[in-house]
């Protein structure tokens, strides 16, 4: 009964704010974010978890929100691109993307920023090949990827230098399961 | 002279909102009370509609249905001709052809509608390949299925072959290519209280859409607005006119706003692709490798309707002989009709297909004559004063030699060729190979195209002291907003932050022509420079000098624009010495050309024959890089798209319909497929381009594919003349070669 709303509201912590969603529990998290919560940063590029344009962080791990039913996010933490810039100022990752002109048409950018952010946050290395592997679930048709890799390398180097990263977690904690899409 | 804006990689004007996720792509805009439209499409390739039945179990009363009879004006999507209907009126020419439209308030319900419309057909034998079309057994168009043909002749081809020591023939094939912009097609339409039909969507050419809609809704007032566009690459040049017609038709019928959003599968199966091609070369050379004759035959598959095929074919034809000088050339070309969805514009617009053939053919020549492909290119490439196949003499800004030598040096090409030759004889898991290509690309419309477009663009000053750029040119990721800001800022001596670019809206901006053909920086940038100088002169005349501070501009705005913005328009003017004869196909096909050389360094797995590109080195003559970081972005993006076309993008067609219309099985390069890139910019300024700039958008897509073929030959000894170079093809070629030698 995917289309029937359940009586109980689902509570999801979105960008640090507890929000209630009342509607069909199998509605895609992507649609809940865009339609019910008005957060349109996550985009639908393919609807089958291939392109990564809809990537959000679910309890810090990147997921394709087009493949996640709302009920699966209940009681959990979801972070979208809207959470990256805390105020007027862009985050260090966003600044690096700006400096490297790493966003062209921009439709893949929110998803790539979130996957990249989970890499940086978890203490990922500045090795371009490792970054490419980690980001390989996000497609971009404009940039040829080079400028994005450069921007992430730059962010990692800066953050290590300024020791902005306090919580050290292995990046492998966030690696998507093999063959599991994102 | 130190520049304020041009030549500097300033932050992209659109970066902030895109990085925050705040940019509004079409579906991010809320339209109160809107309906969602879907298209019911043909499931056969060729035939006539016998009956249409609506499943009585469906609540059709909640829907709005639009058919061909609801079209108030002509049932056509006007482009070069008006042969493509907006909704198939009875005859179906290709799979996925729109037949009728359904709109419903629930976007999750409306998708089910097409399944409940039963259409029966009387099928006819379809034409599904270039060969079938040329055989003319089934006629789709005229007496020969040919949409358009061209002939270019220089010298006397017979004389050329008579003087040749070697004559080498080859045939080269390229597949369709899907644009795979990450934002699928999206369009919205509504009718204003005053009757104006407004369409807003993801598109490259607002004025093309307006022109098409004027024939569908004659006498109507039509306003077209571009939403933030999530990639296009040519895929959103002509098809948005179709989608806008559909959305507007449903909006007019329902009197409610309508959104039409394609999902990935529909987008891939229904919309345009790069034209598949078959190109044959017969080439005569002297003993030391000098070209004396090139006889080239080009055939493109246009699909079911004419759409843009004549102009795609034109560009393909004009680039077919490559950036080389040859005394005797003949190029014959045809675009033919098949029962597949119409093929359209895709970055390079016909040139990647014909340049693939001419460049890959050097490998065939090298194989048959024993001459070295690099030396052959050095001997024949164009220089200042060279004469192309159309008789065009290259007067300036010819960077072919520079880019080739730069690329050879950066990639250590010659050293690697020697090293790999030794390495590949030893046992190991892979063969290594490096291959070259040298290409050119003429930015701007072909021949007299720019004269016919007569593009306009304006620069204005408003009351608040803001300098506005007014152009219908669209941002689709290439960086247009930033580049035009830089050009106008530089011309006026202003900080780029003081210049703003108006969003393309046919009610606000003049017709600057389409955003295609690598023409924006060079052509529109040039027009805007002229417009900016007019504004500068006017302000200086009134105030004594043109202010360059925010405060000064505010003051100027208050004094001069109190009653409304003061606006100055520039119009394209053809440089008098550029001459083109459309009938004879002779003269200056393009005002200038950009040049690029690429070296692709790759490995072929000895067990699986999988090809892995390890690195690519490009050197590109862009005239002048207005924004070096974005120029590199264009080169990197085009290179990786070209590598995808060369190696992994493999559209499979079944009965004229794309069978692998998903990212799951039509794969485009990922972060790990793309190699690390070394991108060199070479600047040979063009006197007619703004600050010396030449167009750059398409050029990088021309180069990678033939370099891949050359590198695979270097690695394996096999020449694979049709794309994509799949492991299966390498495997078959090995088997074939073995069979022959045994």
Task: Please state the domain extents for chain A.
Answer: 10-82, 92-174
A132 at interface of B, judged by CB pairs closer than 8 A:
yes
- Cβ distance B632 to A147 less than 8 Å, yes or no, reads yes
Report how far residue B623's alpha carbon sits from residue B602's, in angstroms, rounded to the nearest whole number.
30
The mean pLDDT value for A98-118 works out to: 98
SS3 call for B147: strand
| d(CA A20, nearest CA chain B) in Å | 21
Q: What is the pLDDT of residue B738?
A: 85
Nearest alpha carbon to residue B187 among B70, B31, B345: B31
Q: How far apart are CA B13 and CA B18, in angstroms?
A: 10
Instruction: Give whole-number Cα distances, B658 to A49, B177, B308, B697, in Å.
Output: 20, 11, 20, 27
Q: Which residues of B touch A64 (CB under 8 A)?
A: none
Query: pLDDT at position B1, please?
Result: 57
Instruction: Look up the CATH number of domain B277-445+586-741.
Output: 3.30.365.10
What does the radius of gyration of chain B's CA atoms come to, in whole angstroms?
26
Q: Identify from B670, B675, B698 which residue to disrupt to test chain A contact, counting A C-beta atoms within 10 A and taking the largest count.
A: B670
Predicted confidence (pLDDT) at residue B299 exceeds the cutoff of 80: yes
Q: What CATH code would you report for B15-23+449-571?
A: 3.30.365.10
**A143 closest CB neighbour out of B14, B633, B670:** B633
Q: Give the pLDDT mean for A84-111.
A: 95
Cβ separation of A141 and B182 shorter than 8 Å?
yes
What pLDDT band is residue B740 in, cutting at 50, 70 and 90? low
> Of the candidates B231, B263, B664, which has its C-beta nearest A105's C-beta?
B231
Please, what is the average pLDDT of chain A? 89
Between residues B206 and B447, which one has the greater pLDDT? B206
| CB-CB neighbors (< 8 A) of A104 in chain B | 231, 477-479, 633, 637
Instruction: Pull the structure tokens for residue B729.
Output: 């093809």
Return the sign of the alpha-carbon dihedral for residues B727, B730, B732, B734.
Answer: negative
The tokens for B484 are 């035009």
Percentage with pLDDT > 70 across chain B: 99
Mean predicted lDDT score pLDDT of chain B: 97
- Whole-number Å distance between alpha carbons of B479 and B460: 21
For residue B659, report the phi and psi dihedrals to the nearest 5 degrees: -90, -30
* B637 has a chain A CB within 8 A of its CB: yes
Q: Provide the percentage of residues in chain B whose pLDDT is more than 90.
A: 98
Over range B552-575, report the average pLDDT. 95
Cβ pair A62, A174 in contact under 8 A: yes
The answer to whether residue A164 scores a pLDDT higher than 80 is: no
Q: Which of B183, B476, B664 sits opposite A43 (nearest CB)?
A: B183
Q: pLDDT > 70: what percent of chain A? A: 86
Q: Residue A138 has what DSSP assignment?
A: S
Asked if residue B520 lies in contact with residue B35, where contact means CB atoms within 8 angstroms, the answer is no
Considering only the beta carbons, identify the residue of B179, B182, B476 that sits closest to A139.
Answer: B182
How many angstroms separate the CA atoms of B403 and B715, rounded? Answer: 24
B665 near A CB under 8 A: no
CA distances from B571 to A31, B455, B528, B539 (A): 46, 6, 9, 20
Query: For B585-634, what is the HEC assignment?
Result: CEECCCCCCEEEEEEEEEEEECCCCCEEEEEEEEEEECCCCCCHHHHHHH
Give the three-class secondary structure for A128.
Answer: helix
Substitution target in B661, B662, B671, B704 with the highest count of A β-carbons within 10 Å is: B671
Cβ contact B662–A145 (<8 Å): no
CATH class of the domain at A10-82: alpha beta
Q: Which residues pair with B295 in a beta bridge?
A: B282, B330
Quick one: tokens of B354?
Answer: 């014909």
CA B354/CA B332 separation, integer angstroms: 12
Examine the pLDDT at B89 and tell me if it is beyond 60: yes
Structure confidence at residue A169 as a pLDDT band (50, 70, 90): very low
Q: Of B261, B187, B259, which Cα lies nearest the Cα of B33?
A: B259
Could you tell me what percentage of chain A is helix, strand and coil, using 3-state DSSP and rounding each to the nearest 5? 35, 15, 50
Beta strands in B67-196 (DSSP E): 91-92, 98-104, 117-123, 146-154, 166-174, 186-191
For domain B31-124+186-206+241-255, which architecture applies?
Answer: Alpha-Beta Complex (3.90)
CB contact under 8 A, A145 and B636: yes
Q: What does residue B560 show for φ and ψ, rounded to 5 degrees? A: -100, -25
pLDDT at residue A176, as a whole number:
46
Q: How far is CA B442 from the centre of its chain?
A: 13
Q: Which two tokens stand for residue B625?
A: 């890089």
Inter-chain contact A141–B21, Cβ cutoff 8 Å?
no
Beta-carbon count within 10 A of B377 CB: 23
pLDDT at residue A181, as a whole number: 38
**What whole-number distance in Å separates Cα of residue B706 and Cα of residue B712?**
10
Query: Which of B21, B231, B633 is nearest residue A41 as measured by Cβ atoms?
Result: B21
Residues of A in contact with B627 (CB under 8 A): 101
CB B200 within 8 A of CB B29: yes
CA pair distance B57, B78, nearest whole angstrom: 37
How does pLDDT run across B351-392, given as a tens digit for each residue?
A: 999 999 999 999 999 999 999 999 999 999 999 999 999 999
For the stretch B602-614, pLDDT in tens is 999 999 999 999 9
Helix axes A146-161, A92-99, angle to 10 degrees: 140
Q: Would you say B39 and B45 are in contact if contact means Cβ atoms under 8 Å apart?
A: no
Q: Mind listing the pLDDT tens digit for each residue in A38-92?
A: 999 999 999 999 999 999 999 999 999 999 999 999 999 999 999 999 778 999 9
Q: List where CATH 3.30.365.10 sits in chain B.
A: 15-23+449-571, 277-445+586-741
Distance, CA of B355 to CA of B442 (rounded, Å):
13
Indicate which of B15, B615, B697 best probes the interface with A, i.e. most A CBs within 10 Å of its own CB: B15
CA atoms within 13 A on the CB side of B569: 13
Note the ipTM here: 0.97
Chain A residues touching B27 at Cβ < 8 A:
40, 44
Q: How confident is the model at residue A173 (pLDDT cuts 50, 70, 90)?
A: very low
Pairwise CA distance, residues A122 & A137, whole Å: 18
Contact B612/A at CB under 8 A:
no
pLDDT higher than threshold 80 for residue A182: no
Q: What is the DSSP letter of A123?
A: T
Tokens representing A18?
């507890």
In this structure, what DSSP letter does residue B285 have?
E
Mutate to test the interface with B, among A145, A148, A153, A181 (most CBs of B within 10 A): A145
Instruction: Give the pair of three-digit tokens for residue B46.
Output: 């060729």
Q: Are strands B291-303 and B277-285 parallel, antiparallel or unpaired?
A: antiparallel
| Angle of the B239-254 helix axis to the B206-216 helix axis, nearest 10 | 50
- The DSSP element (H or E) to which B297 belongs, if any, is strand B291-303
pLDDT at A4: 56
Phi/psi of residue B213, nearest 5 degrees? -70, -30
Whether chain B has a CB inside 8 Å of the CB on A4: the answer is no
Residues 6+ apart with CB under 8 A from B471: B457, B458, B484, B501, B502, B504, B509, B510, B512, B524, B528
A 33-92 near B (Cβ less than 8 A)? 34, 39-48, 50-51, 53, 80-82, 84-85, 90
Q: What are phi and psi of B411, to 5 degrees?
A: -90, -5
Buried b (16+ CB within 10 A) or exposed e, B329-363: bbbbbbbbbbbbbbbbbbbbbbbbbbbbbbbbbbb
Total CB pairs under 8 A between chain A and B: 169
Token pair of B693, please? 């700039």
What gap in Å lies between CA B282 and CA B303, rounded to an integer? 27
Q: In angstroms, what is the C-alpha Rg of chain A?
A: 16
B664 vs chain A: nearest CA distance in angstroms?
Answer: 6
Task: Give the pLDDT band of residue A163 (cuts 50, 70, 90).
Answer: low
Element spanning B434, H or E? strand B430-441
Instruction: From B361, B305, B302, B304, select the one nearest B333 (Cα to Cα).
Output: B302
* Residue A5, pLDDT above cutoff 90: no
Please report, to the nearest 10 degrees, the dihedral formed by the alpha carbons of residues A60, A65, A71, A72 taken in order. -40
| Residue A3, pLDDT score | 52
* Closest-CA residue of chain B to A44: B183
Compute the average pLDDT of residues B412-424.
98
Rounded-to-integer distance, Cα B87 and Cα B71, Å:
9
- Residue A178, classified by CB atoms within 10 Å of its CB into exposed (0-12), middle (13-18) or buried (19+), is exposed
- Would the CB atoms of B663 and A144 count as touching at under 8 Å? no
Residue B484 has pLDDT above 90, yes or no: yes
Q: B-chain residues within 8 Å CB-CB of A80?
A: 21
Q: Would an 8 Å CB–CB cutoff place B230 in contact with chain A?
A: yes
The C-alpha atoms of residue B88 and residue B72 are separated, in whole angstroms, by 15
Nearest to B670 among A84, A105, A136 (CB): A136
Cα(A55)–Cα(A81) distance, rounded to whole angstroms? 9
Q: Residue B507 above 90 pLDDT? A: yes
Given CB atoms, is B106 within the 8 Å cutoff of chain A? Answer: no
Selected residues 23-62 of chain B with any CB under 8 Å from a CB in chain A? 23-25, 27-28
Residue B505 contacts residue B539 (beta carbons within 8 Å): no
Is residue A6 very low, low, confident or very high in pLDDT (cuts 50, 70, 90)?
Answer: low
Q: What is the mean pLDDT of residues B259-264?
A: 98
Q: How confident is the model at residue A161 (pLDDT cuts 50, 70, 90)?
A: confident
Q: Is the pLDDT of residue B255 over 60?
A: yes
Nearest Cα residue in chain A from B108: A3
Query: In Å, how far is A168's CA from the nearest CA of chain B?
Result: 25
CATH number, domain A92-174: 1.10.150.120
What is residue A179's predicted lDDT score, i.e. its pLDDT?
Answer: 39
Quick one: which of A84, A175, A63, A86 has its CA closest to A122? Answer: A175
- Percentage helix, strand, coil, to 5, in chain B? 30, 25, 45
Backbone phi and psi for residue B539, each to the nearest 5 degrees, phi listed first? -65, -40
User: Which pLDDT score, from 0 to 100, does residue A178 have?
Assistant: 42
Determine contact, residues B40/B95, Cβ cutoff 8 Å: no
Asked if residue B444 has pLDDT above 70, the reply is: yes
Polymer length in residues for chain A: 182
């Amino acid at each position: 009964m995917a289309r029937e709303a359940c009586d109980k509201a689902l509570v999801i912590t979105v960008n640090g704010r507890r929000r209630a969603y009342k509607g069909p529990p199998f509605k895609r998290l992507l649609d809940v974010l865009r339609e019910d919560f008005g957060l349109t940063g996550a985009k639908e590029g393919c609807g089958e978890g291939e392109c990564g344009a809809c990537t959000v962080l679910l309890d810090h791990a990147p997921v394709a929100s087009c493949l996640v039913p709302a009920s699966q996010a209940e009681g959990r933490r979801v972070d979208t691109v809207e959470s990256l810039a805390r105020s007027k100022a862009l985050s260090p990752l966003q600044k690096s993307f700006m400096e490297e002109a790493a966003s062209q048409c921009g439709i893949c950018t929110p998803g790539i920023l979130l996957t990249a952010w989970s890499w940086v946050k978890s203490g990922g290395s500045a090795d371009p090949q490792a970054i490419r592997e980690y980001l390989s679930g996000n497609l971009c048709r404009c940039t040829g990827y080079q400028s994005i890799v450069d921007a992430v390398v730059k962010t990692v180097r800066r953050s290590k230098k300024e020791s902005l990263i306090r919580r050290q977690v292995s990046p492998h904690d966030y690696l998507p399961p093999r063959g599991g899409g994102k | 002279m130190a520049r304020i804006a041009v030549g500097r990689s300033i932050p992209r004007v659109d970066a902030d909102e895109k990085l925050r996720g705040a940019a509004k792509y079409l579906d991010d805009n809320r339209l109160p009370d809107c309906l969602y439209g879907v298209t019911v499409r043909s499931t056969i390739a060729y035939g006539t509609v016998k009956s249409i039945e609506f499943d009585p179990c469906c609540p059709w009363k909640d829907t709005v249905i639009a058919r061909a009879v609801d079209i108030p004006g002509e049932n056509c999507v006007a482009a070069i001709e008006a042969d493509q209907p907006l909704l198939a009126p009875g005859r179906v020419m290709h799979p996925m052809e729109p037949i009728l439209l359904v709109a419903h308030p629930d976007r999750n319900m409306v998708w089910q509608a097409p399944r409940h419309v039963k259409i029966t057909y009387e099928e006819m034998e379809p034409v599904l390949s270039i060969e079938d079309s040329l055989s003319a057994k089934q006629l789709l168009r005229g007496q020969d299925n040919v949409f358009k043909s061209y002939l270019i002749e220089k010298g006397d081809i017979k004389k050329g072959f008579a003087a040749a020591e070697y004559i080498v023939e080859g045939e080269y094939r390229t597949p369709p290519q899907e644009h795979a912009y990450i934002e699928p097609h999206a369009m919205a339409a509504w009718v204003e209280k005053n009757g104006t039909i407004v369409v807003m969507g993801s598109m490259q050419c607002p004025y093309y859409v307006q022109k098409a809609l004027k024939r569908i809704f004659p006498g109507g007032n039509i306003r077209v607005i571009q939403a933030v566009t999530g990639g296009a690459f040519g895929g959103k040049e002509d098809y948005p006119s179709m989608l806008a017609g559909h959305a507007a038709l449903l909006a007019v019928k329902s009197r409610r706003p309508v959104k039409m959003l394609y999902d990935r599968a529909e987008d891939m199966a229904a919309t345009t692709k790069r034209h598949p091609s078959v190109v044959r070369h017969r080439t005569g050379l002297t003993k030391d490798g000098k070209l004396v004759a090139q006889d080239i035959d080009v055939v493109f598959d246009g699909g079911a309707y004419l759409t843009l095929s004549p102009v795609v074919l034109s560009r393909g034809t004009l680039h077919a002989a490559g950036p080389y000088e040859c005394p005797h050339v003949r190029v014959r070309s045809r675009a033919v009709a098949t029962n597949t969805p119409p093929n359209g514009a895709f970055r390079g617009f016909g040139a990647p297909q014909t340049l693939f053939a001419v460049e890959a053919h050097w490998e065939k020549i090298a194989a048959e004559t024993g001459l070295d492909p690099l030396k052959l290119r050095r001997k024949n490439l164009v220089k200042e004063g060279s004469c192309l196949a159309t008789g065009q003499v290259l007067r300036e800004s010819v960077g072919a030699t520079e880019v080739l030598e730069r690329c050879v040096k950066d990639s250590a090409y010659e050293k690697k060729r020697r090293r790999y030759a030794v390495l590949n004889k030893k046992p190991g898991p892979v063969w290594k190979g490096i291959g070259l290509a040298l290409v050119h690309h003429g930015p701007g419309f072909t021949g007299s195209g720019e004269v016919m477009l007569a593009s306009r663009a304006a620069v204005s000053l408003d009351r608040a002291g803001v300098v506005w750029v007014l152009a219908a040119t669209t941002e689709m990721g290439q960086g247009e907003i930033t580049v035009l800001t830089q050009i106008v800022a530089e011309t006026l001596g202003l900080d780029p932050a003081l210049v703003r670019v108006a969003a393309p809206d046919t009610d606000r901006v003049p017709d600057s022509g389409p955003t295609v053909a690598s023409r924006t920086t060079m052509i529109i940038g040039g027009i805007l420079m002229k417009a900016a100088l007019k504004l500068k002169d006017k302000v200086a005349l009134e105030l004594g000098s043109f202010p360059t501070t925010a405060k000064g501009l505010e003051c100027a705005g208050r004094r001069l624009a109190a009653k409304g913005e003061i606006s100055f328009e520039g119009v394209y003017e053809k440089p008098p010495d550029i001459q083109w004869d459309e009938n004879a196909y002779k003269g200056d096909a393009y005002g200038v050309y950009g040049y690029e050389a690429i070296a692709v360094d790759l490995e072929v797995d000895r067990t699986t024959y999988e090809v892995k590109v390890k690195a690519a080195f490009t050197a590109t003559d862009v005239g002048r890089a207005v924004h070096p970081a974005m120029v590199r972005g264009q080169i990197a993006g085009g290179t990786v798209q070209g590598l995808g076309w060369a190696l992994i993008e493999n559209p499979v067609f079944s009965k004229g319909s794309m069978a692998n219309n998903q990212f799951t099985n039509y794969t485009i390069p990922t972060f790990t497929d793309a190699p690390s890139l070394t991108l060199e910019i070479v600047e040979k300024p063009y006197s007619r381009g703004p600050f010396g700039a030449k167009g750059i958008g398409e050029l990088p897509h021309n180069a990678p594919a033939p370099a891949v073929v050359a590198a695979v030959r270097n690695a394996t000894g096999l020449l694979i003349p049709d794309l994509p170079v799949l492991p299966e093809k390498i495997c078959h070629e090995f088997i074939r070669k073995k069979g022959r030698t045994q």
